[in-house]
Structure 1
Amino acid sequence: MQAQELSFGYPGAAPLFEAVSLAVRPREIVCLLGGSGCGKSSLLRVLAGLQAPAGGSIRFLDAPLLQPDPRSALVFQQASLLPWLDVAGNVGFGLDFARQPELGAERHHARVAQAIEAVGLAGRAHLYPAALSGGMAQRVALARALAREPELLFADEPFSALDAITRAEMQTLLVDVVHRWHSAVLLVTHDIDEAILVADRILLMGGRPGRIVREWRVDIAAPRESHGGAVTELKMDILAALLALREPSPSATRPGTHP
């Protein structure tokens, strides 16, 4: 995916972001990092084709992107499972929607089974959402996206509501699944540690309106938890960049001036 000079804002309001250009390469995990209100979730929705940009262009698989593409998939913070469907039903939900590639019953069943196995829920396909923990529900949400065999997975803070241990498990699972399924990922997060642990590249978004202000390529070998010095050095660099975004301009702090 390539995006050039994107901007977006709601009618009658200031732009949420502008002049945003970025790319996500095949089999790459890119983390879009930033504080609350910088426009990163809105940017994700625009890139996914859920909202039209006010300006700029998006290309996906060498074609202009003007609407959601069936070769991409989304995972959000809430699993949003349908309570009347079991795990298999939730994972397969939407595979026969309009614009989805037509599947026969055998292929449909195979995709669902493979996705459930990939997220570690083999043997639990018959369970209903009421019987699932939060982490299991997010695994089902991830499996639902994977069943579409996406070229690009959009993920909007999908693990932020989970406890620390479950979150770490899901982060590891995400990296493993991407490598196994050969998908690319654009992950929105406000968590620096999460970005460092999973990303191939980190893009820092900030300002009002939001822009991409810094980029880091993460070359730390896996498992990254074993390289504490390199992880800490990168984290401190990112923290410094975040703090610089929050510092007031000199004119705002001179005596006798007003904000």
Structure 2
Amino acid sequence: MLTLKTLLLALTGAGLALAQSSSQFCDSSSGICFQGYTDPDLDVTVGFVLPPLSTPPSNEFIVQLVAPVTNGYTGLSVAGTMADSLLFTLWPYNNELILGPRWTSGYVLPTAYAGPQITLLPSSTINSTHIKATFRCQNCTAWEGGSLGNGDLTSFGVVAYVVATTTEPSDPADVDSVIQEHDDFNFFGLDLSMAHSDSYSSYIGGSVTTSAPATSTHPTTSSHSSSVVSTSSSAPAATQTEYGQCGGTGFTGPTVCASGLTCVAVSPPYYYQCQA
């Protein structure tokens, strides 16, 4: 079994001379075009898209992670290493996507991480063979101990992903569940300069579900949440529900929040959200 330390050393030694590098692909169900990579052996696809460079600096991006539904869990490292990187874990449970951010400072299994706000987009699905999470991640370009592209969103970075094929979370209903060590991993070079899209605002216009409240160990604030456990929600025709989008560039949906909610600028000018 591969260890976390093995992964870290492999990535460090790889540097930027990677055999597999990112290229563009478009998701037919959503129309979102990503910069990413499909692993033919592990059957994992990872893609990123960022706001256009011409706009003010943003702290967000969209990720697509596709993996076999038979995996105990699939993990993603934004910075390419286990330590000091923003991580995500994903698995299916009762036909729901269980997705959440994690972090670790060393060669230990990562735990839940408060800070990123995750919003599943409508193309997120589970079928008989694969789980696909397409999600918007806000407050995600910088984290404890690091940042995307080391702060340069036009640079070249390394993205890693892991699969657990023989183990599963101890409590699969809990996004913060204890997980066991993965069985395999791989990585690719991500050209961030090619990941920016002028269509970003239209991509996030279809957001359907925001992160569920954090667990008791991670207090929830208006800009911090830790998990996504559902793939659908609905809103009244005239008003928007809590955590639903209520404004932003290109947005054509409801702009009035339900009673007791206020339309808050979360990532202006792209995204405004109804919050209590």
TM-score, scaled to structure 2: 0.25
Larger radius of gyration: 1
Structure with more contact order per residue of length (Cα contacts < 8 Å, sep ≥ 6): 1
